[in-house]
Amino acid sequence: MRALRVLVIIAVILGGLFVLADRVAVAFAENEAADRLRASEGLDSTPDVSINGFPFLTQLASGKLDDVEIGIKNFEASTTGSGNGNGNDSGADTIRIAKLSAHMRGVTFSGDYSSATADTASGTALISYDELLKAAQVEPVQVMPGLTAKVTRLSDGGNGRIKVGIELTGSLLGKKVTESVSVLSSVKVDGDSVKVDATTLPNLPFSVAEDRVREITDFEQKIDGLPGGIKLDKVQAAGDGVEISVTGSDVKLAG
């Protein structure tokens, strides 16, 4: 009986040491992965990396991790070809993604840990309205003789739509015009772009051709620099910006 108790105590101690070693190893691996990701993507700050599943050491030995979560703040994505589709392109080369989170499954890595690829990935990206505004027509555009318009603000319009604020200035029939109007716009993913299109046009006290109004209200933001080949999936307006669902397969994380 005493021998059995000794075996049980030894087993508990060894089990505890294994768990401790496993948690130390996973913490080290998470820090190392975060540093490598920061370097490979040129990030300003170190991302959050969580390697899930237990035990970690057996996953490490197999060369494949079951479940990895990554969180990146203030990620700069490239925006080549952005604009409103009417010849007025955005001057910004990048757009700041306030928060980017990705859930990777089946992450295979090389023997020297220089490269890693995930079988599948899904997650979300948040772009603030101030950042998305860079793609809109913020410079005044003449919508009719003597009258110009420009987008001044984007905000949550409710029910998944964006509220686009427009300022009209100039003169009409000898009278000075300074008026603020707004439209509700839909937002959708089209390839690697986020497109904003007015669902209703502003109710103006004078007639303006629809195509001239849409030159102001409708625009798109191209985002083609996400890490590891992650692609845009869906988008909806939220309280503090647009929330984009991202997804991917055979996602290259490093190397």
Over the stretch 147-200, which tens digit does the pLDDT of each residue have?
Answer: 888 889 999 999 889 999 988 888 877 788 788 888 899 999 998 889 999 888
What is the pLDDT confidence band of residue 227, given thresholds at 50, 70 and 90? low
Q: Which residue has the tokens 């959708």?
A: 188
What's the token pair of residue 19? 């768990």
Q: pTM score, two decimals? A: 0.80
**Cα–Cα distance measured from residue 166 to residue 202, given in angstroms and rounded to the nearest whole number:** 9
Per-residue pLDDT at 241:
93
What's the token pair of residue 253? 């994380």
What is the pLDDT confidence band of residue 243, given thresholds at 50, 70 and 90? very high
Per-residue pLDDT at 54:
83
**Cα–Cα distance measured from residue 247 to residue 26, given in angstroms and rounded to the nearest whole number:** 25
> Contact at 8 Å (CB) between 127 and 220?
no
Over the stretch 17-67, which tens digit does the pLDDT of each residue have?
Answer: 556 677 778 888 888 888 887 887 778 888 898 989 888 888 888 888 899
**Cα–Cα distance measured from residue 124 to residue 119, given in angstroms and rounded to the nearest whole number:** 18
What is the pLDDT confidence band of residue 207, given thresholds at 50, 70 and 90? low
Assess whether pLDDT exceeds 70 at residue 220.
Answer: yes
23/4: higher pLDDT:
23
Per-residue pLDDT at 9:
46
Q: Is the peptide bond before 227 cis (omega within 30 degrees of 0)?
A: no
Per-residue pLDDT at 15:
47
Over the stretch 109-147, which tens digit does the pLDDT of each residue have?
Answer: 776 666 788 899 999 999 999 988 887 767 788 877 888
Assess whether pLDDT exceeds 60 at residue 211.
Answer: yes
Contacts by residues 86-94 (CB-CB < 8 Å, ≥ 24 positions apart): 86/215, 88/137, 88/139, 88/141, 88/215, 90/134, 90/135, 90/221, 91/134, 92/134, 92/135, 94/225
198: closest CA among 223, 173, 218?
218
**Cα–Cα distance measured from residue 226 to residue 77, given in angstroms and rounded to the nearest whole number:** 6
Assess whether pLDDT exceeds 50 at residue 90.
Answer: no
Query: What is the average per-residue pLDDT within 85-90?
Result: 48
71: closest CA among 108, 93, 89, 45?
45
Query: What is the average per-residue pLDDT within 232-250?
Result: 91
Q: What mean pLDDT value characterizes the chain?
A: 80
DSSP lists the bridge partners of residue 117 as 108, 252
29/91: higher pLDDT:
29
Over the stretch 54-82, which tens digit does the pLDDT of each residue have?
Answer: 888 888 888 888 999 989 898 887 775 45
